């Protein structure tokens, strides 16, 4: 029987419970850890850690392979961010940090994919999307810690590469779109090769975004980054890990690795706190934590229920592009779970190092 452990900030919906039950009965699944940001997603819920014996599930990693967060502290404090400078910074970020496509192709070395056709397809996309943030909940933020020091935070992933890789391998396995598909043998090895390429691309993409954002910050605010403080955390990936006496493939979909002393970044929403944490190495969770607050409303529901006025109220004190207010309603803080409750629910998984608040939020709609 599959072992399922839960750290919840609120009761699970029936749909999430049923999805976890189906997952627990999938071939090769040995352990599941449910994080407090868990919410419904296709096949495998976001906020789920799945350990398997010899089976790789691309859907338990998700489409945005390698998605994660990166941050570093700036040589400046929050007092340098006036309304005028915040507006100038948003303009500078729009010029330097594209949302979906670069104005011209970047020169990237060929990506070492498992399949030549897939390589041609993803390399084309990689060259026009490298250094782009993407839409949805991806962002660049200027944040302030409790001492008033400024930090840059970036949330992005492998862009078009991840979904292309997932669909390529599910198609090769002749998987039904309605069925959770496990890969073994050569099929698993091929997926893992491509997964690692996407994960590396995602890390480099966040660094490229950060470099462009740092140039904009220095231009407008006159402050630089402290490189020694840089760290990067991935929350969509699979890797081989040993837990107890078992060697397992541990899939994290919207979950972070939280080994003892390992640094992590857990954001709330564009209007609420982000936490820098260290893992406690909790064996029951397979040394994992949440990757954020987690959605409490699907995007469609949020767009129906949250008004422009409601979003504006949620974002008081945060500088953002007000021209996007109507289209950002599905990213309103009220569309997400309470990050304070999420952190409280996982106090045995991580220890809080610092709490940061959003100052300038830059994202696509």
The more confidently predicted of residues 351 and 117 is 351
Catalytic residues: 291
Q: What is the dihedral of CA 14, 17, 23, 25, to 10 degrees?
A: -100
Q: What is the pLDDT of residues 2-55, one digit of tens each?
A: 999 999 999 999 999 999 999 999 999 999 999 999 999 999 999 999 999 999
| Number of Cβ atoms within 10 Å of the Cβ of 44 | 24
Provide the whole-model pTM.
0.96
Residue range 80-84: mean pLDDT, rounded: 97
- Residue 1: which pLDDT band, with cuts at 50, 70 and 90? confident
Q: What is the pLDDT of residue 178?
A: 75
3-state secondary structure of 251: strand
Sole residue written with tokens 């790789």: 56
Written out in words, the top-level CATH class of the domain with range 3-54+66-362 is: alpha beta
Give the 3-state secondary structure percentages of the chain, helix then strand then coil, rounded to 5.
35, 30, 35
Q: Which two tokens stand for residue 339?
A: 């990050």
- Asked if 150 contacts 144 with a C-beta cutoff of 8 angstroms, the reply is yes
- Asked if 279 contacts 289 with a C-beta cutoff of 8 angstroms, the reply is yes
Burial 2-29 (b: 16+ CB within 10 A, else e): beeeebbbeebeeebeebbeebbebebb
Q: Which of 267, 248, 246, 247 has the alpha carbon at shortest distance from 256?
A: 267
């Amino acid at each position: 029987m599959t072992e399922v452990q839960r750290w919840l900030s609120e009761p699970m919906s029936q749909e999430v419970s049923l999805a976890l039950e189906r997952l627990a009965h999938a071939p090769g699944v040995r352990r599941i850890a449910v994080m407090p940001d868990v919410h419904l997603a296709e096949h495998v819920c976001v906020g789920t850690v799945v350990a398997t014996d010899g089976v790789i599930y691309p859907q338990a990693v998700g489409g945005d392979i390698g998605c994660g967060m990166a941050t570093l502290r700036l040589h400046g404090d929050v007092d340098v961010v006036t309304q005028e400078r915040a507006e100038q910074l948003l303009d500078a970020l729009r010029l330097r940090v594209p949302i979906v496509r670069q104005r011209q192709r970047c020169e990237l070395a060929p990506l070492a994919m498992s399949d030549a056709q897939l390589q041609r397809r993803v390399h084309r996309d990689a060259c026009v999307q490298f250094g782009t943030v993407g839409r949805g909940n991806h962002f660049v933020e200027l944040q302030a810690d409790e001492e008033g020091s400024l930090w840059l935070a970036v949330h992005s992933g492998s862009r078009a590469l991840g979904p292309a890789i997932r669909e390529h391998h599910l198609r090769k396995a002749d998987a039904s779109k309605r069925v959770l598909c496990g890969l073994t043998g050569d099929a698993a090895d091929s997926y893992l090769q491509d997964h690692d390429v996407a994960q590396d691309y995602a890390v480099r993409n966040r660094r490229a975004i950060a470099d462009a954002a740092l140039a904009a910050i220095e231009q407008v605010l006159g402050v630089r980054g402290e490189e020694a403080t840089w760290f990067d955390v991935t929350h969509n990936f699979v890797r081989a890990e040993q837990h107890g006496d078992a060697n397992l493939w541990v899939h994290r979909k919207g979950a972070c690795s939280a080994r003892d002393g390992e640094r992590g970044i857990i954001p709330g929403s564009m209007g609420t706190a982000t936490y820098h944490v260290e893992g406690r190495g909790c064996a029951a969770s397979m040394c994992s934590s949440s990757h954020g607050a987690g959605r409490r409303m699907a995007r469609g529901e949020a767009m129906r229920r949250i008004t422009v006025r409601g979003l504006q109220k949620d974002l008081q004190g945060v500088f953002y592009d007000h021209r996007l207010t109507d289209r950002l309603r599905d990213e309103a803080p009220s569309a997400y779970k309470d990050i304070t409750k999420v952190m409280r629910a996982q106090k045995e998984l991580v220890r809080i190092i610092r709490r940061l608040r959003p100052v300038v939020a830059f994202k696509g709609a």
